[in-house]
Amino acid sequence: TKSLKETLQEVIPAKQEQLKKLKTEHSQAVVGEVKVENILGGMRGLKAMLWEASVLDPNEGIRFHGLSIPDCQKVLPPAPGGKEMTAESMFWLLLTGQVPSPEQSRQLSAELAEKGELPEFVEKLIDSLPNTLHPMTQLGMGVAALNHDSAFQAAYERGIKKSEYWTYTLEDCLNLTAKLPALAARIYRNVYHPERSLPALDKNLDLVGNYSNMLGFGANEHLTEYLRLYIALHGDHEGGNASAHTSHLVGSTLSDPYISYSAALYALAGPLHGLANQEVLRWQMAMQKEIGDNITHDSIKEYLWKTLKSGQVVPGYGHGVLRNPDPRFIALQEFCKSRPELQSSPIIQLVQQTAEVAPDVLKEHGKTKNPYPNVDATSGCVLHHYGLTEFKYYTVIFGVSRALGALTQLVWARALGLPLERPKSYSMDALEKLIKN
Ligand code: NMX
Ligand code: MLT
């Protein structure tokens, strides 16, 4: 059985060749135009980044190396005894473009569990933080501090050839992925359950099995399975989203994967991006409180209008690229539908009812280009139902997941020798001159 590194080593030459051909034969081909609206509108719609692992179609949603979410659910190996694809199998697919065998996926689980412990100084750093510091801030700090042991940074200092960059980057990316559960679980324990002791990593468990166990939910197989699905689904969303793009930008300066991904986490921590995760549940609970027992489509509609009229966005709705309901939202809803205990959960029912009403309200409101739910509209409510009720923690789980895609691309960026990212900017005066010319 080939290891992840061996598999990657085999696929790299063909990709390098593909890039070379694109550069030599198509460098001057035009694939789009730059309008002033792109410059003023957060670069929305601008085709300007290379990203290997996934491509987002505005109508169909995400495909990972061409595989849709239902395809992935069919072919990616689950954990022993489970049904949902593992984080490892998604990571393997994202990185190599190939579906791992169950044995390869298990081998990767064993490798990650082996590397999963935190250095003592990082444990001490996290333990020294006040429990009032947002869990995302803590996660970013812990990830950045792990760069103390960066293989890439040490090798770069020693002086290595460009063709060797990717192997050290891969080493860092595997180490970081492996350590994220222990780091994220430690933050959860410290902030919410300081009386608990943290279980040691179980070398027989997959990454998310260990994460769930360290969070204190190891006995809850339903939640562990949900976390596997959640983490695999949130792994990658092409390159332009704010967190992935940040990691790519910082990584392009040859900052090591730890500090590159730490920067990405702080992009994820914004309410228009990953923090919508926590905002949705906070907002749905406030709605539940205000409406009381008599929840109807009309009462939800009224609450939606109240949110919009107060100038706030409806969290969990809209998207920078998608123009249809997010297939990740659909996959999580399907998970809910397959479990009777979730179907009878009031908060899950409320999320479902809101999704029935909100698109029409947002269309009538007339601002958002996409009135449909995104993944954040539903992701938190299952966590809440199963007892992981601390909203402020939710984006940390997203942060554990997004590493899969962002780190994958860092390996590819180094394997392909991608350059420093440095777009051209203009002042408004300079732009006006450009328009006149
Ligand atoms: N509720 C109210 N107004 C909205 C919403 C919404 N859910 N979505 C977009 N709009 C407004 C938006 O604020 C903008 O208004 P203005 O012209 O006054 O600035 C207008 O509609 C046009 O925005 P769009 O071009 O449709 O959206 P854009 O690409 O700029 O932003 C989001 C995308 C995701 C930031 C935006 O839809 C939003 O704020 N959604 C709510 C927060 C959210 O769910 N974020 C999570 C995204 C997914 N993720 O995991 O990262
Ligand atoms: C994501 O998963 O990153 C979000 O859906 C936001 C995006 O794609 O822009």
User: Which atom of ligand 2 lies closest to the CA of 320?
Assistant: 9
| Closest C-alpha to ligand 2, atom 6 | 241
Q: How many CA atoms lie within 13 A of 98 on its CB side?
A: 17
Full-model pTM: 0.97
Angle value at C-alpha 243, between 287 and 270, nearest 5 degrees: 35
| Closest C-alpha to ligand 1, atom 23 | 368
| Closest C-alpha to ligand 2, atom 3 | 241
What span, in angstroms and rounded, lies between the C-alpha atoms of 150 and 197? 28
Contact 76, 90 (CB under 8 A): yes
Per residue of the chain (437 residues), what is the pLDDT tens digit?
999 999 999 999 999 999 999 999 999 999 999 999 999 999 999 999 999 999 999 999 999 999 999 999 999 999 999 999 999 999 999 999 999 999 999 999 999 999 999 999 999 999 999 999 999 999 999 999 999 999 999 999 999 999 999 999 999 999 999 999 999 999 999 999 999 999 999 999 999 999 999 999 999 999 999 999 999 999 999 999 999 999 999 999 999 999 999 999 999 999 999 999 889 999 999 999 999 988 999 999 999 999 999 999 999 999 999 999 999 999 999 999 999 999 999 999 999 999 999 999 999 999 999 999 999 999 999 999 999 999 999 999 999 999 999 999 999 999 999 999 999 999 999 999 999 98
Residue 245 near ligand 2, beta carbon < 6 Å: no
Q: Distance between terminal CA atoms of the chain?
A: 61
Residue 260 near ligand 2, beta carbon < 6 Å: no
Buried b (16+ CB within 10 A) or exposed e, 71-99: ebbeebbbbeebebbbbbbbbbbbbbbeb
The reply to whether ipTM tops 0.95 is: yes
Residue 403 CB neighbours (<10 A): 27
Give the distance (Å) from ligand 1 centre to CA of residue 280: 13
Q: Largest alpha-carbon pair distance within the chain?
A: 68
Residue 234 near ligand 1, beta carbon < 6 Å: no
54-57 and 61-64 strand pairing: antiparallel
Give the distance (Å) from ligand 1 centre to CA of residue 305: 15
Q: What pLDDT is stored for residue 392 in this prediction?
A: 95
Residue 320 near ligand 2, beta carbon < 6 Å: yes
Residue 376 near ligand 1, beta carbon < 6 Å: yes
Residue of 37, 233, 317 with the most ligand 1 atoms within 8 Å of its CB, for mutation? 317
Give the distance (Å) from ligand 2 centre to CA of residue 381: 19
What span, in angstroms and rounded, lies between the C-alpha atoms of 320 and 113? 36
Length of the chain in terms of residues written: 437
Contact 258, 416 (CB under 8 A): no
User: Which atom of ligand 2 lies closest to the CA of 56?
Assistant: 8
Contact 385, 348 (CB under 8 A): yes
Q: What pLDDT is stored for residue 293 in this prediction?
A: 82
User: Which atom of ligand 2 lies closest to the CA of 273?
Assistant: 6
| Closest C-alpha to ligand 1, atom 28 | 320
Q: Is 407 helix (H, G, I), strand (E, B) or coil?
A: helix
Residue 272 near ligand 1, beta carbon < 6 Å: yes
Give the distance (Å) from ligand 2 centre to CA of residue 374: 9
Contact 377, 319 (CB under 8 A): no
What span, in angstroms and rounded, lies between the C-alpha atoms of 262 and 401? 13
* Token pair 């769930």: residue: 212
Q: Which two tokens stand for residue 50?
A: 């290379």
Nearest-ligand number for the alpha carbon of 241? 2
Give the distance (Å) from ligand 1 centre to CA of residue 259: 28
User: Which atom of ligand 2 lies closest to the CA of 238?
Assistant: 8
The residues carrying an active-site annotation are 273, 319, 376
